[in-house]
Amino acid sequence: MSELRVVVVEAGDERAVEDWRAVHNAIIPTAPLSSDDVRERAGRNHLEVLYADDVVVGCSTVRPPADSSAVTVIARVLPAYRQRGYGEQLYTRGLTKAEELGVTDVETVVLASNAEGLRFALRRGFIEIDRYVLPGDTIPFIDLRLSSLSVADASHMDAVRAEPAQ
């Protein structure tokens, strides 16, 4: 049995933009984005798409700090591809990008109906800091912050990199 070829690319070309959008909209159906929305986000955030044997399985967002010192790192994996280490790959890449931005705190956002995504964040030391519902929606978003650790905390980074794929 051959090993899957996993590739992560920046959401820069049209295929990657559409694939990033498809993953986002599947996991966040309450706040769907258009292709133009994704291109606009790609201009201010770092967006990546993860492919396994040329099939899109996940995407990520690294949002630089706006009015706080925290960078937002979001890893999304389609349900059919979870528990294979793809989320961990995206999360680790996001932390590396956060380090490059020189920030000290990391946050993430999870739709409350995504129980697996919430468990993923909690297992990595995130704690809930806010819950809110967008106008017209009924499912809250949960903002989480990496508890008492910074991206520069070498022991956390080492633990993340050493942890077996979930």
Does pLDDT of 102 surpass 70? Answer: yes
In a domain, 67, yes or no: yes
In which element (H, E) is residue 92 found? helix 86-101
Distances (CA, A) of 69 to 102, 108, 127: 10, 13, 17
Which band of pLDDT confidence, cut at 50, 70 and 90, is reported for residue 148?
low
Domain that holds residue 33: 6-162
In a domain, 32, yes or no: yes
pLDDT tens-place string over residues 1-37: 457 799 999 998 999 999 999 999 999 999 999 999 9
Residue 34's φ and ψ, nearest 5 degrees, are -90, 170
- 77 with 90: CB under 8 angstroms? yes
Count of structural domains within the chain: 1
In a domain, 140, yes or no: yes
In a domain, 129, yes or no: yes
In a domain, 1, yes or no: no
In a domain, 122, yes or no: yes
CA dihedral over 91, 96, 97, 98, signed as positive or negative? positive
The enclosing domain of 77 has a CATH number of 3.40.630.30
